[in-house]
Amino acid sequence: MPVLKKAAKRFSPARVLVIGFAAMIAAGTLLLCLPFSSKSGEFTPIFDCLFTATSASCVTGLIIYDTFSHWSVFGQIIIALLIQIGGLGFVTIITFFNIAAGKKLGYRTLKNAAGDFSESSFEGGRKIFISIIKYSMIFELLGAAILSVAFVPKYGGYGVWMGLFMSITAFCNAGFDLTGMEGEFSSLTAFSDSPVVLITLAILIIVGGLGFIVWENFLNIRQRKKLSLHTTAVLVMTGVLIVTGTVFYLIAEWDNPQTLGEMNVGEKIMNAFFSSVTARTAGFNSISIDGMTGFSMFGTMALMFIGAAPGSTGGGIKVTTLLVLIMTVVSYIRNKNDVELFRHKLDKLTIYRTLVISVLSMFAVGTCFVVLYFSMPDGADAVKCLFDTISAFSTTGLGAGAVQQAGYAGQSLIILTMFAGRVGPVSLVMSLVMNAQPRKNLVVPEGQILIG
């Protein structure tokens, strides 16, 4: 009698995404623990390695140790690899090597990769994965070459590695830097007068934050003859947020002697522009975070929470989520039955997903903030706790100092928040649901409830 084999249980794309990132973080943690990963040649505490590996894999940028001062070149390479894989998406990397080996890609493989981009539908097949890797390398190498022009005269041969490292972290919106020789945790404040450094990094951040779906649209523009609705929405929102953020920082910090006050007009505009770009998930800072006014810090929190585009190397709730929320309100005020965007009607599932993402994101940030604040020593600054919480969730990496002051409980919560922010709150919740199979909708009676 033939033996019937039970079909192997397949993981949902959301669960593959979560498990993959967890495995990558575990591997990075073990490598960073090795003695030759630190400059002192000693073992780094495993918890600190876990925090750093999570921050790098989730392209966040929050750190316990200054990257240049603590980690050896080997440790810095491990961090750069984690950022590269985490930024492009580990499924994308695996898919690329499968293509290079000549393996065929099934529908589930493509769906898993699409899930890694937070995109429900993904067109282009194997070509898009090759394009993602190819153009990512091109942008990063170009950025490294330009940055080396600024770094090599000052730091010698090490400046080449600095240029490559920071080009990778900028493109992947990670925010790690190797400028600790100018002062630990100083980020780019020593280069606030360098257009080569700030403008190059800003362009890399913007390109990486547009998202691979937008890239694919531009690469196939000859066949399609027009930009997709998604691409149009991303470009419009990105432009609006960059301009609005630049004007915001100019107004809020123009006379502040601790930030823009001592700069000339050109430097003020350049640093305000860079701050606007980097606040949306990149994590570099060319002006002092501690020196910012409270008004600027709250504006920065808003930019961090919004983030970059879907399917990009950045985090946050995403620019398209904000746009759909705005248009939902506009459509309701205008008494329209459907939500319209650039003369297109949005389907109900998009609206539901937007609301779910927004609610889960605010819940995650609120929960983390409350626990972090009450786990801090007496006299903790609530604004700094909220700032670092949003920075962790949006995978931005700008720090107000709460992470360094927090104990193991607070830092453990930040680790979970960074992880949830990178894989996405929806993907994380779906990965925890035991029955991933969709259920049939039951016919139920319609009801009425008062709201508002």
pLDDT tens-digit map of 27-65: 999 999 999 999 999 999 999 999 999 999 988 989 999
Dist. CA 192–CA 274, nearest whole Å: 9
Question: Do 385 and 393 form a contact (C-beta atoms < 8 A)?
Answer: no
- The one-letter amino acid code at 433 reads V
Which residues in 310-407 belong to E strands, given as ranges? 340-341, 344-345
Question: Do 130 and 138 form a contact (C-beta atoms < 8 A)?
Answer: no
Question: Do 167 and 147 form a contact (C-beta atoms < 8 A)?
Answer: yes
Dist. CA 301–CA 386, nearest whole Å: 8
pTM: 0.87
Question: According to the model, what pLDDT value does residue 442 have?
Answer: 67
What are the per-10-residue average pLDDT scores of the chain (452 residues)?
Answer: 50 68 92 96 95 93 93 97 83 49 44 44 57 86 96 95 96 92 92 96 93 80 81 93 97 95 96 95 91 94 92 86 92 88 87 89 92 81 92 90 83 89 69 55 73 68
- The CB density around residue 256, as the number of other CB atoms within 10 Å, is 17
Reference 415, options 388, 442, 436, 434; nearest CA is 388
User: Quick check: helix, strand or coil at residue 38?
Assistant: strand
Strand partners, 236: none
**Could you tell me the two tokens for 289?**
């975070």
- The CB density around residue 371, as the number of other CB atoms within 10 Å, is 18
User: Quick check: helix, strand or coil at residue 437?
Assistant: coil
Dist. CA 184–CA 178, nearest whole Å: 10
Question: According to the model, what pLDDT value does residue 76 have?
Answer: 97
Strand partners, 340: 345
Strand partners, 110: none
Dist. CA 174–CA 282, nearest whole Å: 5
Which residues in 343-392 belong to E strands, given as ranges? 344-345
Dist. CA 176–CA 168, nearest whole Å: 9
DSSP H or E run through 25: helix 13-33
Question: According to the model, what pLDDT value does residue 112 have?
Answer: 44
Alpha-helical regions (H) of 221-318: 221-224, 229-253, 265-278, 294-306
Structure-derived torsion over alpha carbons of residues 291, 292, 298, 304, reported in degrees to the nearest 10? -90
